[in-house]
Copies of this chain bind each other. A is one copy, B any other.
């Protein structure tokens, strides 16, 4: 069985995670919490499979053991990757899958009813990617007498400060990210198709290091090129790279579901002056942002430190310059908790991890530079080690 486990989390650490979730539940007076985010399931139980496209959840009663509910064929596999006993794992019948008339959460609600005390409030994960409107309505209908209350990312917030084990996973992910980016920066050439470069990046992400094979990142490599570089989130095509064009590359290294994302920009040929200048300003801004990160500082203050630098050069960035990272599943490697942006009052503490991403998306061109980092007692630790500059290939 241990053969298929991706990581060995000490049982005491699982217990501690659950204990901290229960403390947060008690503060909200939840009689139970229904966890649907795959990253939260993994954090609390180690359950890891590509099964989140059908409904699944962990029901955590305030005063009893948690129970996992999944499609029958996946419940069977759950024993391979999760720390629950067989009695805590329940498979719903196959004929409930993807039907318009019935929903797996009808069955889950009926089965979970006896786990939930009296008329207790039940916390749900309102913005979990795979907790659909129909799932929510079925759960609500199946739990009459209970109020469903949005937990507001309760478990995600518990994940915010990483344990030594988790920091170790992040450092390995960082090495994988650095290696994949080195290959990307080295192999991007005029005339090569975007998809062929992506093939090398994907291979490097999976191979990882000789000691630690790579896991799948929550997001595929993104490399908007030419005028598309002015917009984020475009995936690749089979068009060849051309001299005179810049490409922004965003990718991640992943290990045991932990992510270290990383972004750089490559120019084929002589860069236009605006790109050279932006790269210089952004590098200075990165120093300011990383220099501001330390325990006791707010997320908003980090954003302000960056903006003060670029404002001096006539630039402005309204969107956030970073977000908390850790465990990730498609479609996102962010934790959906702390953002580095104006108004973010959360104070940084040692053990938090962030993707500091400076994306300057202009009209028809763009520049990206990012660093995955950990907050340390003394300041900041970078998870990768690559020059913070525009790569120019002539």
Residues of A within 8 A of B (CB): 1, 3-4, 6, 48-53, 72-74, 76-77, 80-81, 94-95, 97-98, 100, 103, 124-137, 150, 152-153, 193-196, 198-200, 202-208, 212-216, 219-220, 222, 224, 226-228, 230-239, 318-320, 323, 330-332, 334, 336, 339, 341-343, 361
Specify which chain B residues have a CB less than 8 angstroms from the CB of A76 in the assembled complex. 230-231, 361
Distance in Å from the Cβ of A292 to the closest Cβ of chain B? 20
| Most B C-beta atoms less than 10 A away, residue of A100, A227, A336 | A100
Q: Are A133 and B130 in contact (CB under 8 A)?
A: no
Distance in Å from the Cβ of A145 to the closest Cβ of chain B? 19
Specify which chain B residues have a CB less than 8 angstroms from the CB of A97 in the assembled complex. 319-320, 339
Q: Are B134 and A234 in contact (CB under 8 A)?
A: no
Q: Are A77 and B330 in contact (CB under 8 A)?
A: no
Q: How far is the CA of A237 from the CA of B127 in the complex (A)?
A: 29
Count the copies: 2
Q: How far is the CA of A130 from the CA of B343 in the complex (A)?
A: 27
> Given known contacts A131-B132, A132-B132, A212-B238, what 19 new A-B pairs fall within 8 Å (CB)?
A1-B227, A49-B231, A49-B235, A50-B219, A50-B220, A73-B231, A73-B319, A74-B231, A77-B224, A77-B230, A77-B231, A77-B233, A98-B323, A125-B133, A127-B132, A133-B133, A194-B213, A213-B238, A215-B235
Which of B3, B73, B134, B235 has a CB less than 8 Å from the CB of A361? B73
Specify which chain B residues have a CB less than 8 angstroms from the CB of A72 in the assembled complex. 319
Q: Are A208 and B95 in contact (CB under 8 A)?
A: no
Specify which chain B residues have a CB less than 8 angstroms from the CB of A150 in the assembled complex. 133-134
Closest 4 CB pairs of A and B: A213-B238, A77-B231, A195-B213, A126-B134
Q: Are A98 and B339 in contact (CB under 8 A)?
A: yes
Distance in Å from the Cβ of A302 to the closest Cβ of chain B? 16
Q: Are B129 and A133 in contact (CB under 8 A)?
A: no
Q: Are A48 and B235 in contact (CB under 8 A)?
A: yes
Q: Are A132 and B137 in contact (CB under 8 A)?
A: no
Which of B73, B136, B215, B220 has a CB less than 8 Å from the CB of A216? B220
Q: How far is the CA of A319 from the CA of B235 in the complex (A)?
A: 34
Specify which chain B residues have a CB less than 8 angstroms from the CB of A204 in the assembled complex. 199
Specify which chain B residues have a CB less than 8 angstroms from the CB of A3 in the assembled complex. 226, 228, 237, 239
Specify which chain B residues have a CB less than 8 angstroms from the CB of A212 in the assembled complex. 238
Show 22 residue pairs from A and B whose CB-CB distance is below 8 angstroms, ordered by the A residue. A4-B224, A4-B237, A48-B235, A72-B319, A73-B232, A73-B233, A77-B231, A94-B320, A97-B339, A100-B152, A126-B134, A129-B129, A131-B133, A133-B133, A134-B150, A136-B136, A195-B206, A199-B204, A200-B203, A202-B205, A215-B235, A330-B331
CB nearest neighbor in B for A101: B152
Q: How far is the CA of A103 from the CA of B130 in the complex (A)?
A: 17
CB nearest neighbor in B for A214: B195
